[in-house]
Chain A
Amino acid sequence: MTHLAPLIMILPLAGFLFVLLNGRSLGNRSVGVIATGVVGLSFLASVLTFVQVLHDHSREVTVNLFTWISVDTLHVPAAILVDPLSITMSLFVTGISTLIHWYSTAYMEGEKDFRKFFLYLNLFVFSMLTLVLANNLVLTFVGWEGVGVCSYWLVSYYFDRDAAASAGKKAFIYNRVGDVGLLVAMFLLFTHTHTLTYLGVFSSTSLLSPTVATLVVLALLLAATGKSAQIPLFNWLPDAMEGPTPVSALIHAATMVTAGVYLLVRMSPVLALSSSGRMSIAIIGGVTAFVAATIATAQKDIKKVLAFSTVSQIGYMVLAVGVGAYGAAIFLMVSHAFFKALLFLGSGSVIHSLGGEQDMRKMGGLARWLPLTFPTFLIGWLTISGVPPFAGFWSKGDVLTNVFTHNKPLWVLGVLTAILTAYYMSRLFVLTFRGSERFREVTHQHDPHESPVAMTVPLLILAVLSVFGGVLDLPWAHGFSLTHFLAPTFGYVAPSAAQSTTLQTGLALVDVAAAAIGLFAAFTIWRNRVESATFEKPFFEHVWHWDDAYDATLARPLATAAQFSSDVVEERVIDGAVEGLGGSVRRSGEGIRKLQAGMVRQYALAMVLGATVIVVYLVGRVR
């Protein structure tokens, strides 16, 4: 039954091609149904494949599709690797995608490029599935770039707005910096192991010297920082919020941005070879989680808060990878997909009800107007804040417990981040749903309206998943947990964090305390405030001046250098030298026209004569 696996990928591609070729004759309604339908079927195929994997003896099956590239020693098949990791990824990617496609059919209603939106969305799902199901690095790169270009299109969806156009370009280029890392990692691996299939590389890790292994891990880390928006390449993600909100939920929260984490987990057998590489990963993750959380405390745009929150949460995942807790990283990735998709879609519902307003200062008191969005958002907020028994408490706890056993300073940073997380999310919650109604000006005194069924039902489903998602990996259910299911695909698993129940309980209490502190602080401060210079530090609001620093140290000097190359090096130095050598051609108009015929003839004659002289001389020397 493994032959179902290709269907997971092919269905969204088929949907894309069908709408691309027949789009003009289809109404918006049918486009929405088809696009959502194929992704739903893809989810069904994933479930069936998952059941198969559960019952199969061998949980590692390669399905060959065709030979893509084969030259000399380089063989790159188009082939799928079905194993616990790839099927787990497929399940949550297709599941969340289905919900968000459905949600979008209502959210995007009335948009001019409705059809194009779903084309991009289907192509995105196909690319994401290629990324996770590929059996080799090059095919993963196909998906890796594919999701990048879909993200580019969807971020600059409102292309007539300059901000959107620039944000799309910025996202793609920041990602490309990371891609250079992935390319170099592939080149190093191929040069030393002569293969690029995952299983091939893992079986020849002995060919990698410690130095090469570290270089590979650092190159992979660079790739991950680009795609997963980590320091130093994280600042494209907040700009990417220019895209429609379902896109932010699907691509820039639940799926694509976790691809970097997936790549690192997938390559765990190589990560096992370099402890300094793993340490770098842990530091990048921990620091990003903290820095992004500080920035989120001072943002005024509801989507920006969620964007930095995403950066911060992925930081936790990267941190988990760095300490070898791969299971915890994937657990957090899956539960984060549930609650962050929920929060983004909920914020979309809020924005929808206010006719497009995203500034939290112009919201407030929405709880009574949005009877379905409010309770589901409340669940999302409690989940991300780490309040038991919601999914976030278990998954974040899993990460922090593992970090505690390996690196105490990073654990402290992680707990601080947890406090900040509870704080900024509560601030967002209070400013949006509680307090006075400040939106009347925006809605022209109308009452806000709850969103249609197609938008609220996905919210309800995600809320249920956020409540119960924790059961995927409860700390005392060793035999039936996600980590246990995934374990065979990891190269090196950190020693179990669950050494003593007392320690675990203690750490869990610390997590609960962190959440309580954050919640309490936010309610105290923001119950009666809308903005505050004391609590919204300009330094945080301006993203630690990260963009300005890049502008001053990279962008502007490069622009100057480019202009200099064009005006001076190209025009005067190179062309000047050539024209000086070949006689001045730089005379224009009449003079040239008269000269031209004669000059060409003279040149021809001179060349032939010159050539003859040289040849005669050379031949003379030979004899």
Chain B
Amino acid sequence: MHSSLWLSALIVLPLLGALVAMAVRRTPDAAYRVAVGVGALEVVLTLVVAVLYKSNVAGAQGYDFLSRHVVSAPLGLAYDVALDGLSLLMVVLTALVLLLSLLGGRDKRREPAFVSWLLILTSLTMGSFVAHDVLEFFVFFELTLVPCYFIISGWGAKERTRAALKFFLYTFTASAFLLIGILYMGFAYQHQHPTAALTFAYGAMAATSMSHATAVWLFVAFAVAFGAKAPVWPLHTWSPLTYAEAPTAGSIELSALLAKLGSYGLLRFAVGLLPLAQVSVRPYVLTLAVIGILYGSVLACVAADLKRFVAYSSLAQMSFITLGIMSGSTIGVTGAVLLMFNHGIITIGFFLIIGFLERRRASIQIADFAGLQGPAPVMAGLFTVAMLASIGLPGLSGFVSEYLILIGTFTTHAWWSAVAALGVLASAVYLLWAYQRVFHGRALGANATVTDASAGERWVLAPVVVLIVLLGVFPQPVLNRITPSVHTLVTQVATASVIK
């Protein structure tokens, strides 16, 4: 077992960074340099944590870096952190998203404020992923809305105000269900253990006994909150508008990272705490996931701008994650956890390239582009890597996760998986078509003089390409870290359904 200070450092460091960035705001560029420095340090720290992490910590169900401090006993509030195979990759992703969106999505308007919001958001997201207490998770989870709201409304495109408000109301309303569920579980536990203090510790919540009907209602409440975030069809309609209007860094944060809070929450809290209910609602959620895969693919075909295009393709990909999470098979859930990370990396790639194109052409409308492969072959090549990973080309990262999800789901729910496999076909249709419209053909007018990716832009995308290839060819070290935790979770569900 390792010291929990590692995790605390991950949460505190970006906060300190935000303070320093504000303090040095009078010197031009200083805030940005501080933020990049913090981002780089954060990436290094998370990589160290990932290497240190021991998946087979004795007796702790695979939790490492564990520690609990009660903050306020009457309120049941505690600072409780831990790391396991489900959250490990998310922690790494959080740091990578910060660094890459700073490097690739730099916005010089009111820069100290911009980077401070990004740093605060990172700290809160990090807190959500390592929280081992349900109420603590909710606090972090809910607070992430604030920096998001300001990033979108402060640095977004023309309709930023409407987009920010819609995003805020959507997720805020949905998370009210989560709060109710959490409070109910905490009070129910205290009622069952009158001598114990009010607590929302993860282990305690898992031990709360309740009727099957109550569990199902709680599951639905959790699923609504996390489903709006992920998004799960039909709670997705905030995402196209918000992704399109947010600045590049904001789009990356939202789709690559914050969406994962939804799927992570669904897995950790809905499936993890309510295994019995999961078995009952599984067919319904799986159906929504399959609809989401096909629906997202169809709308991606007709999306008019590149960011909406990625929003709908993300809906399809996030639905694959939901499918895996609900599959009830270790293989499927492992694939889902891996896809959360892979989709994050691939989406960073997409939004960075879209941002680069926007800088050159001041547009993200697909119809404004043509033949860019001629003047910008390297940019086209980088986009191709992200595209092929997203299509699920074996040898690249997307395949491993998508394949595990589908084959795992097939062993438990063959029909859902068979229909979802059509998504593999659909992703090729919408991605290749978009590629053809933007990069193939003859470049005329403003498109003919587009410059190729600069050295700086190539360096920002280099880690994305490396991770896509590396996790496609050698995923096993990562899978070794995920699988034990997933196995514990899935067997717990299986045991629960046997008892039922």
Contact = CB atoms under 8 A, between A and B. Distances in A.
Contact of B404 (A69, A184, A570, A585): A69
B432 interface: yes
A159 B483 CA distance: 43
Interface in A141-173: 141-142, 145-146, 149, 152, 156, 159-160, 162, 165-166, 169, 172-173
Contact of B407 (A186, A574, A607): A186
Interface in B159-213: 159, 161-162, 165-166, 168-170, 172-173, 176, 179-180, 183-184, 187-188, 191
Contact of B487 (A72, A578, A593, A599): A72
B436 A565 contact: no
B143 interface: no
A552 interface: no
B479 interface: yes
B441 A71 contact: no
Nearest to A196: B407
B395 interface: yes
Given A187-B414, A562-B301, A610 B475 contact: no
B57 interface: no
Nearest to B177: A611
A505 interface: no
B295 interface: yes
A427 B187 CA distance: 87
Contacts of A611: 176, 179-180, 183
B172 A180 contact: no
B420 to A, nearest CB: 10
B188 A582 contact: no
Contacts of A533: none
B191 A622 contact: yes
Given A159-B441, A180-B421, A191-B410, A69 B393 contact: no
Given A173-B428, A607-B176, A187 B436 contact: no
Contacts of B365: none
Contacts of A141: 394
A74 interface: yes
B181 to A, nearest CB: 10
B180 A615 contact: yes
A68 interface: yes
A73 B407 CA distance: 11
B180 to A, nearest CB: 5
A366 to B, nearest CB: 33
Given A145-B393, A575-B237, A585 B165 contact: yes
B439 A159 contact: yes
A160 B439 CA distance: 9
B173 A603 contact: yes
Nearest to B164: A596
A460 interface: no
Interface in B373-403: 373-374, 388, 393-395, 399-400, 403
Provide the main secondary structure of the chain B interface.
Answer: helix
A180 B418 CA distance: 9
A607 B161 contact: no
A561 interface: yes
A619 interface: yes
A188 B407 CA distance: 9
- Chain A, interface residues (CB within 8 Å), range: 35 or more
A570 B299 contact: yes
A160 B442 contact: yes
B323 to A, nearest CB: 13
Contacts of A570: 237, 299
Contact of B429 (A156, A173, A179, A574): A173
A159 B395 CA distance: 25
Contact of B162 (A69, A73, A146, A588): A588
Contacts of B162: 585-586, 588, 592
Nearest to A139: B394
Given A180-B425, A190-B411, A72 B331 contact: yes
Nearest to A160: B442
B370 to A, nearest CB: 10
Contacts of A70: 476, 479
Contacts of B265: none
B299 A179 contact: no
A133 to B, nearest CB: 15
A164 to B, nearest CB: 8
A149 B394 CA distance: 10
A619 B187 contact: yes
Contacts of B329: 72
A162 B187 CA distance: 65
Contacts of A186: 407
A618 interface: yes
Contacts of B407: 74, 186-187, 190
Contacts of A566: 299, 302-303
B25 interface: no
Contact of A603 (B172, B373, B411, B487): B172
A67 interface: yes
A177 interface: yes
Given A141-B394, A582-B170, A607-B176, A187 B428 contact: no
A53 interface: no
Contacts of B354: none
A124 B237 CA distance: 41
B331 A73 contact: yes
Given A562-B299, A566-B302, A592 B406 contact: no
The 8 A-B pairs with the shortest beta carbon distances in the complex, nearest first, are A165-B440, A187-B410, A142-B394, A575-B237, A72-B330, A607-B176, A159-B440, A176-B428
11 contacts: A68-B473, A71-B479, A71-B483, A162-B441, A176-B425, A180-B425, A184-B421, A187-B411, A191-B411, A565-B295, A599-B169
Interface of A: 66-74, 138, 141-142, 145-146, 149, 152, 156, 159-160, 162, 165-166, 169, 172-173, 176-177, 179-180, 183-184, 186-188, 190-191, 558, 561-563, 565-566, 570, 574-575, 578, 582, 585-586, 588, 592-593, 596, 599-600, 603-604, 607, 610-611, 614-615, 618-619, 622-623
Given A72-B334, A190-B410, A191-B411, 13 more contacts: A69-B403, A71-B331, A71-B483, A156-B440, A159-B371, A162-B441, A183-B406, A184-B421, A190-B407, A565-B299, A570-B299, A599-B165, A611-B179
Interface of B: 159, 161-162, 165-166, 168-170, 172-173, 176, 179-180, 183-184, 187-188, 191, 234-235, 237, 295, 298-299, 301-303, 329-331, 334-335, 371, 373-374, 388, 393-395, 399-400, 403-404, 406-408, 410-411, 414, 417-418, 421-422, 424-425, 428-429, 432-433, 436, 439-443, 473-476, 479, 483, 487
